[in-house]
């Protein structure tokens, strides 16, 4: 997902691992396809089960964040 602050446009693409949920009242969400856990990118709430949010300080971007999700695969 990428948000361009200059022209106020967002680009979100699903991947082999994540499904983008863009039409949710809570905002932009990602669902990990293997364990079906939801990743919430809203900075005001927890990112979700087995997930962490790490802000990155950079002079290149206004905001950069890395989300890490640990998959709990059923055996």
Predicted confidence band of residue 7 (pLDDT cuts 50, 70, 90) = confident
- With tokens 């994540």, the residue in question is 18
18 belongs to a structural domain: yes
The range of the structural domain enclosing residue 52 comes to 2-69
75 belongs to a structural domain: no
pLDDT value for 45: 92
Counting DSSP H helices and E strands in the chain, the numbers are: 0, 7
How many domains does the chain divide into? 1
16 belongs to a structural domain: yes
pTM equals: 0.75
Per-residue pLDDT tens over the stretch 16-68: 999 999 888 878 899 999 999 999 988 899 999 999 999 999 999 888 999 99
Helix, strand or coil, per DSSP, at residue 31: strand
74 belongs to a structural domain: no
């Amino acid at each position: 997902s990428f948000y361009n602050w200059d022209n106020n446009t967002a680009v979100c693409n699903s991947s082999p691992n994540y499904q983008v949920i863009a039409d949710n009242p809570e905002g932009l969400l990602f669902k990990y396809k293997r364990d079906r856990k939801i990743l919430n990118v809203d900075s005001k709430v927890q990112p979700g089960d087995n997930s962490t949010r790490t802000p990155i300080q950079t002079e290149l971007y206004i905001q950069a964040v890395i989300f890490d999700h640990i998959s709990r695969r059923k055996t």
